[in-house]
């Protein structure tokens, strides 16, 4: 579940990149910058999941660390920006943490509640009452059991009606419906804010100012350029710790990558740092528990931390191993040419593929292995052949140097693009875009100070 959550958290910035679909070059860069996070997470999960299932490496490391942790103290939740945002979020929704805790444990007075939304925000005491519970204790002689009455004293409290004041209080909607409304509303607000940021930056950063900012952000440290990326990782971790969400940080990076302020290469270590930053927040929050619950929470947080650390150690220090960057750029090129591919990518990578693996897992390890292993082998061979086709085609037999011997739908997106263009909405959009691009090709003399050439590099695509 921890590995799956890493993949799921990257869906937000991928959705945000769609807000720049209007400009082909911006969309190419934005989608590449967003999916570099996806590629890192998918590669890390694919490799480390196999290692974990085979060796139990993460479990062994965190179990050893767990044994050295004392359960005597109790931590508290870290609140930084939450101090500012919580008063506003409480006006929209409030959740009952006691209900959530009883659901997680499986017993308790609130385990049968059907909603997490708070019903009472104030309680009135009604004194104390004494009840008698029946307890059975085993006898060693003849294996008989004796029933003993145990009196217990409990504090009585009654919830005050209409004591809560927030938007979804006493709503007739279910929790799932409220959650969908909040999710859609949050994404709309996030995208609107980021679009506004892009427009403001495009209007402010022109000429020399844009050039200075771009060169400063993407520059390397003199004499020790290799150290720049590691400092970027620390910056990404610190900024994510401040905002307490890797999704917010990476979603903010996406439009900046789209307009060319930050390169994909520079965004990669910043994204890796955000993965570390979000685990430190979870680690500190896990210390708010007590007893065995504290140890379990800390161990899960440590698993998340070491998963990301090992992923970074594999896919960053050695430049050759930074596979997420070229993979993300390839996706950026593809989506710039076939924009519908971005929607298909979202559906397949975040819904179809996880759902397919989940259904296979229901059949047990044998079914998962019988179907999953051949698919992984075919995928690995395809990747290897593609790399050899572009780097060392002489190593391959003549028929494998291209995929032209396969039916076109198996090695090209053009047939699917033709199907999409047959739809009236897509056809009109494509015609309007082609007309707009033809107009852009016309050479027009501009007045000084109105261009934005500083955002153009030798590689105009990224």
* DSSP secondary structure letters along 359-373: HHHHT-HHHHHHHHH
What residues are paired with 175 via a beta bridge? none
Structure token digits, residue 63: 């179990």
Range from 238-247, 272-281, 337-346, 426-435 carrying the lowest mean pLDDT = 426-435
142's torsion region: left (phi>0), alpha (psi -120 to 50) or beta? left
Rounded CA gap, 195 and 200, in Å?
9
Residue length of the chain: 462
- pLDDT tens, position by position, 73-90: 555 556 666 777 888 888
Of residues 453 and 61, more confidently modeled: 61
Please report which confidence band the pLDDT of residue 39 belongs to, taking 50, 70 and 90 as the band edges.
very high
The answer on pLDDT for 301 being more than 70 is yes
Does position 155 have pLDDT exceeding 80, yes or no?
no
Residue 286: per-residue pLDDT: 72
| Confidence at residue 420, expressed as pLDDT on a 0 to 100 scale | 79
The Cα 261–Cα 201 span in angstroms is 9
**Between 412 and 230, where is the model more confident?**
230
Of 368, 388, 369, nearest in space to 380 by CA: 388
How far apart CA 124 and CA 157 sit, in angstroms, is 5
- Best CA proximity match to 349, nearest among 2, 1, 4: 4
Identify the pLDDT of residue 241: 86
The mean pLDDT value for 273-290 works out to 79
Tell me what the pLDDT averaged over the chain comes to.
78
Q: What CA–CA distance (Å, rounded) separates 102 from 300?
A: 19
């Amino acid at each position: 579940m921890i590995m799956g959550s890493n993949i799921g958290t990257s869906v937000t910035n991928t959705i945000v990149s769609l807000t720049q679909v209007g400009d082909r070059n911006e969309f190419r860069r934005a989608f590449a910058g967003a999916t570099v996070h996806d590629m890192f997470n998918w590669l890390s999960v694919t490799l480390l999941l196999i290692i974990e299932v085979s060796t139990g490496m993460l479990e062994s490391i965190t179990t050893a660390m767990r044994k050295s942790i004392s359960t005597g103290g109790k931590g508290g939740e870290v609140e930084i920006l939450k101090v500012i945002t919580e008063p506003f979020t409480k006006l929209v929704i409030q959740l009952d943490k006691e209900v959530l805790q009883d659901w997680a444990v499986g017993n308790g007075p609130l385990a049968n509640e059907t909603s997490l939304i708070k019903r009472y925000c104030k309680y009135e005491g009604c004194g104390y009452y004494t009840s008698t519970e029946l307890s059975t204790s085993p006898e060693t002689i003849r294996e008989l059991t004796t029933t003993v009455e145990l009196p217990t004293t409990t504090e009585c409290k009654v919830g005050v009606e209409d004591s809560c004041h927030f938007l979804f209080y006493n709503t007739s909607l279910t929790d799932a419906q409220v959650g969908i409304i909040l999710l859609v509303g949050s994404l709309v607000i996030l995208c609107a804010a980021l679009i506004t940021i892009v427009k403001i930056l495009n209007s402010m950063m022109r000429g020399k100012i844009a050039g200075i900012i771009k060169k400063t952000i993407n520059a390397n440290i003199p004499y020790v350029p290799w150290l720049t990326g590691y400092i970027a990782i620390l910056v990404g971790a610190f900024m994510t710790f401040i905002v307490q969400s890797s999704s917010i940080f990476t979603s903010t990076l996406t439009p900046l990558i789209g307009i060319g302020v930050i390169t994909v290469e520079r965004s990669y270590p910043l994204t890796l740092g955000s993965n570390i930053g979000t685990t430190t927040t979870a680690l500190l929050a896990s210390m708010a528990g007590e007893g065995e619950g504290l140890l379990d929470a800390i161990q899960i947080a440590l698993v998340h931390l070491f998963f990301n650390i090992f992923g970074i150690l594999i896919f960053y220090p050695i430049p050759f191993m930074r596979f997420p960057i070229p993979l993300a750029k390839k996706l950026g090129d593809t989506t710039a040419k076939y924009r519908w591919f971005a929607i298909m990518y979202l559906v397949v990578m975040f819904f179809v593929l996880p759902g397919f693996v989940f259904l296979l897992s229901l059949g047990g390890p044998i079914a998962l292995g019988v179907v999953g292993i051949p698919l992984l082998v075919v995928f690995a061979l395809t990747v290897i052949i593609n790399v050899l086709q572009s780097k060392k085609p002489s190593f391959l037999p003549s028929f494998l140097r291209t995929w032209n011997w396969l039916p076109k739908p198996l090695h090209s997106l053009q047939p699917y693009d033709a199907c999409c263009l047959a739809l009236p909405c897509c056809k009109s959009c494509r015609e309007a875009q082609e007309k707009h691009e033809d107009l852009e090709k016309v050479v027009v003399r501009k007045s000084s100070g109105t261009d934005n050439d500083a955002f153009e590099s030798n590689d105009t695509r990224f």
